[in-house]
Structure 1
Amino acid sequence: MFKRTFALLLTACATLPATAQQPADDSAAIRQVVDTYLQPLLTSHQAAGAIVGVSLRGKRYYYAYGTANDDGSPFTADTIVEIGSCTKVFTTTLFALAAARHQIEPDAPMQRYMPDGVTLQPAAQNVTPLQLADFSSGMPDNPPDAPRDLRYRGIDHYTSADFFRWVSSWSPDGPLPRPYEYSNAGIGVLGAMLANATGRAWNEQLSADILQPLGMTSSFVGPVDVPGRTAEGHLRNGQRALQWPLYAWYAAGAMRSTAADMLRFGEANLGHSEIDGHPVSAELIAAMRDAQKPRYTLPNGVAQQGMAWVTNNGNGSPGLHPEIWKNGGTAGFSSVIVVNPFKDAAIFIAVNQNDTPPAPVAVAIGRHLR
């Protein structure tokens, strides 16, 4: 059992050293906003700890809470965390890049990009890559035949062949496009389709087209253990969680990253043409905007679904501006990335405990930044 004390949790919030931080007075004001909205979440869930990164008008701040590991080591801007489904917006950005390069047609039948030997059911053959990207394909969240036990769910046990055997048996349950249905499996299929369409493996595209250009040198695919830098995840009961496996549908949730790297990604999604002195191509910025673009209104009647990204349009409240966000969760982590274009702000939060939702907190922080 992970042993926590509220004193440790509530007094460990500290601004971390970083070359891109704002002057101390600005940092203190932002810390007060972060404290106001994050500490109640951590207290109510008795969470082990968290790291918060805030980029405001191109300047960065980092705030650490609690502990990253059971040995009491703190979070830093460079602590490696599981970002879970935040991986999806990297995949949809790659999809937008491939579409802009005329390597894949968003509205083409998905059968065209299937791996060799995979023949879809007639009703599934006309599902499109775009419908997979914006959750209107009708594909379920996860393959129903995948093992429930996390220890046996990784790609070594439930292989890519197993995954595509299920994909070849699946059919949407009505006319396309289907109503919104969140799907890890759908983004996993999209990642494989990108590999076939471009001739490059998904992880190679990720590295060459996003991570390297943005200087995201501490972002990884699959389980990783960098001594002194890798945070430990926890279940809601405080016990250590297993590391998130590499699934056969890895393009939906395989990444690990840091607050520093995720702010780089957030700034690029805000349209910054330069990150840490390195230029960001107009092609990449355009692809990010295409991935963010709302495609339809979600069942709540307010938020809009993009390609994995969700846009909140202020819920009709005066003075509020759109926030664009994606959250993620694994067995041991909860995370979110939010970009607020009106304020030129990006917020990343990772909590090293599952089912501890930071998305409403990140949205609130963004709305209260000055």
Structure 2
Amino acid sequence: MSTTAVRTAAGEPTGDDDPDHLLERAVDAVDAPDVVFALSADGARRVRQGGTAPAPPGGRDRLRYELGSASKPFAGLLLARLATTGRVAYHQRAATLLDPGRRHGGVDRVTLTHLITHTSGLPGMPADFYPQALPRWSTDPYSGYPAHRVVAAFLRARPRHRPGARWRYSNFGASVLGHTLAAATGTAWEELLTAEVLAPLGLRDTALRPSPATGKDAVGHRRDGRTTLPPLDVAGFAAAGAVRATPYDMLAFLEAHLRPDSTPLDSALRAVRQPLLRRGFGRREVHTLTWFQHSTDHGPVYFHCGATSGQQAFLGFCPATGTAVAGACTRRFRTSDAFVPTAYGLLLDVARAVPTP
């Protein structure tokens, strides 16, 4: 699971701005066994698919793709949902919810907001994760690290800096958030996310576990584009990267952010769009509770991308133009990453092509 923050200059449009042409150009730019890009503009959807492998019988657009770190907007939205309905508070301390009545040194100050905004001071992964993961790093690195180990590693952790002081991307922190919300509500993570986010938004083709026997899941590939990989098992890191969804459900999730008042999660969807922190050179990188945010001539764009051992995904939207882009491919690019810049560029191109209301 990983994410890539990207920035492309938002200049004048180049080439044909027809949405169909933009989609086709994006698909052609990504060399992967399966590629799908989908866009929504004012409620109208367009989907294009392609790839170097034979197309599955039902079409690539009907498969569920592993979102990797693009699962985190789902976790953040769940936190916002529980906070706006009064079941948790953003400032609550995770250690207190996970193990009440005891002190846990350095992590006692880590709040729910710190965990999801990567400001907890935690490293990317627990230190003892790597020895058990390295023997199967390219295929199944997470399965040997269950939920109880994630929680135990958190409670004994010593943050590298004061919580809230610095930004450091952490799958560890996002995973702890999932276990903390489950503990706070007395509900298992999968059941909680389904009841509070997936079901209210009508995401029926979104799942938190692989179902390879049904043929619904896309098959990932190594960077050679030929060697297949098993479905991702995230074990104790579910909140950081367990979601898999069809391109249509990805779009539905983004469309909810564009039109929050049409959903039961109105307050939560508005909350996750509010800027919370800045970082980087000139403090140009803006983050909300769940999204990377960039300023453009067409208003702010919000996005998140993610990768697993053999797949990549992108989610992005521009509220001012009512546009959204979802993308997925079944190849993990580790050196020259064509997928993320293509997906992000498509988001900007689509925002340019649609007049601001």
Q: Normalising TM by the smaller chain, what interval? A: 0.7 to 0.9
Using the TM superposition, name which of 289-298 and 54-63 deviates more.
289-298
- Alpha-carbon contact 2:123-2:159 (below 8 Å) kept: no
1:77 and 2:61 matched: yes
Can you list the C-alpha shifts for 1:277-330, whole angstroms capped at 9, x where unaligned?
Answer: xxx12xx1221221232111121432201123110112xxxx342110011100
The count of residues paired between Structure 1 and Structure 2 equals: 324
Tell me the equivalent position of 1:66.
51
Tell me the equivalent position of 1:192.
179
Matches within 5 A, 1:223-238: 223-225=210-212, 227-238=214-225
Distance of aligned partners of 1:270 and 1:138 in 2 relative to their CA distance in 1, 3 Å threshold: same
Can you list the C-alpha shifts for 1:109-143, whole angstroms capped at 9, x where unaligned?
Answer: 222211579x5631210111111111111111112
Tell me the equivalent position of 1:335.
313
Tell me the equivalent position of 2:304.
326
Unaligned 5+ segments in structure 2 are: 1-16
Using the TM superposition, name which of 157-166 and 185-194 deviates more.
157-166
Cα distance in 1 between the residues matched to 2:215 and 2:95: 45
Residue of 263, 275, 280 corresponding to 1:294: 275
Secondary structure at 1:138 match in 2: coil
1:35 and 2:40 matched: no
- Alpha-carbon contact 1:223-1:246 (below 8 Å) kept: no
1:139 and 2:127 matched: no
Secondary structure at 1:196 match in 2: helix
Tell me the equivalent position of 2:86.
102
Matches within 5 A, 1:256-335: 256-274=244-262, 280-281=263-264, 284-300=265-281, 301-314=283-296, 319-335=297-313
Cα distance in 1 between the residues matched to 2:95 and 2:85: 20
**1:152 CA displacement:** 6.0
Normalization by structure 2: what TM-score? 0.84
Secondary structure at 1:304 match in 2: strand
| Matched letter for residue 51 of structure 1 | V
1:171 and 2:153 matched: no
Cα distance in 1 between the residues matched to 2:275 and 2:25: 30
Cα distance in 1 between the residues matched to 2:20 and 2:103: 52
Cα distance in 2 between the residues matched to 1:230 and 1:306: 30
Q: Which has the higher contact order (CA 8 A, sep 6+)?
A: 2
Tell me the equivalent position of 2:3.
none
Distance of aligned partners of 1:31 and 1:226 in 2 relative to their CA distance in 1, 3 Å threshold: farther
Tell me the equivalent position of 1:240.
228
Aligned CA RMSD, in angstroms, stands at: 2.2
Distance of aligned partners of 1:143 and 1:37 in 2 relative to their CA distance in 1, 3 Å threshold: same
Matches within 5 A, 1:210-221: 210-221=197-208
- Using the aligned pairs only, state the percent identity: 25
Distance of aligned partners of 1:288 and 1:225 in 2 relative to their CA distance in 1, 3 Å threshold: same
1:127 and 2:104 matched: no
Secondary structure at 1:336 match in 2: strand
Cα distance in 1 between the residues matched to 2:54 and 2:347: 32
Distance of aligned partners of 1:241 and 1:289 in 2 relative to their CA distance in 1, 3 Å threshold: same
Can you list the C-alpha shifts for 1:138-194, whole angstroms capped at 9, x where unaligned?
Answer: 111112211222466444x32222222221221112323131111111011101111
**1:357 CA displacement:** 5.4
Residue of 232, 243, 248 corresponding to 1:255: 243
Distance of aligned partners of 1:106 and 1:361 in 2 relative to their CA distance in 1, 3 Å threshold: same
Distance of aligned partners of 1:120 and 1:178 in 2 relative to their CA distance in 1, 3 Å threshold: farther
| Matched letter for residue 125 of structure 1 | D
- Alpha-carbon contact 1:85-1:327 (below 8 Å) kept: yes
**1:271 CA displacement:** 2.0
- Alpha-carbon contact 1:86-1:253 (below 8 Å) kept: yes
Normalization by structure 1: what TM-score? 0.81
